[in-house]
Structure 1
Amino acid sequence: MRKNNYVDILKQHLKTSVRKLKLGHKGVFQMDNDPKHTSKVVDNKVKVLEWPSQSPDLNSIENLWAELKTIVRARRPTNLTQLHQFCQEEWAKIHPTYCGKLVERYMKRLTQVKQFKDNATKY
């Protein structure tokens, strides 16, 4: 994804999401330090959560994406059509309890990250 694509997505969906979630002006937008996210082009007058560079990603959805990627890669798609199909099929198989377990493990991950301070963890 290029920064212009990212900016277009924000322009199309961010304000709508804030309105639907009834966040008003108290919402804070979280993004990682990917250069396209931090580009000066990305300026929606939105309060952004400060995020240290090279910080561990504690967002549970990232663990879910990694799991999906591993499963789909094992099926060895040979073209974009297969990739799309396999992603949809495998996504549908992910049980809600798996997602719940990812969320439950959040505190353990957070505790380990805090304990190790600036040093590497398995997360």
Structure 2
Amino acid sequence: MKLKLGRKWVFQMNNDPKHTAKLVTKWLKDNKVNVLEWPSQSPDLNPIEYLWSELKRRFCQEERAKIPLDCCEKLVEGNPKRLHQVIQFKGNSTKY
């Protein structure tokens, strides 16, 4: 894909593992992409990240409101059986 930006631009990305994978790093180098150096574990200052967070929060609230009360009650009522099985299996995998 040709963006016709010339060579005067710098690509910015955070140090998320998927961005720093060997394949990505090689591609960026092979394609002579100027990448802005960015410290790992730095605060994310990209506004889109905050928007994604807000969308997830709103979606979860909307979906949570659709869960019937009896579903929650059944989960709470079944908890003693699940706990008993965890103890019985000494913390290993259970059918739950």
Name the TM-score class by shorter chain.
Answer: 0.5 to 0.7
Alpha-carbon displacement from aligned partner over 1:52-109 (angstroms, at most 9, x marks no partner): 010001111111111111101112279xxxxxxxxxxxxxxxxxxxxxxxxxxxxxxx
The structure carrying a bigger helix percent of its residues is: 1
The amino acid that maps onto 2:20 is T
How far, CA to CA, are the matches of 2:50 and 2:23 in structure 1? 29
The match for 1:63 among 41, 46, 50 is: 50
Alpha-carbon displacement from aligned partner over 1:12-69 (angstroms, at most 9, x marks no partner): xxx44xx1xx421111111111111011211232111111010001111111111111
The match for 1:30 among 12, 15, 19 is: 12
Which ranges of 4 or more aligned residues in structure 1 deviate by more than 3 Å?
none
Is there any run of 5+ residues in structure 1 with no aligned partner, and where?
A: 1-14, 79-123
Query: Equivalences for 1:111-122 in 2 at 5 Å?
Result: none
- Does residue 73 (structure 1) correspond to residue 55 (structure 2)? The answer is no
How far, CA to CA, are the matches of 2:20 and 2:59 in structure 1? 30
- Using the size of structure 2 for normalisation, the TM-score is 0.55
The amino acid that maps onto 1:56 is P
Is there any run of 5+ residues in structure 2 with no aligned partner, and where?
A: 67-96
How far, CA to CA, are the matches of 2:48 and 2:36 in structure 1? 18
- Using the size of structure 1 for normalisation, the TM-score is 0.44
Question: How much identity, in percent, do the aligned residues show?
Answer: 62
Q: Which residue of 2 aligns with 1:53?
A: 40
Q: Secondary structure at the match of 2:51?
A: helix
How far, CA to CA, are the matches of 2:10 and 2:60 in structure 1? 34
Count of aligned residue pairs for this structure pair: 60
RMSD, aligned CA: 2.0
Q: Secondary structure at the match of 2:49?
A: helix
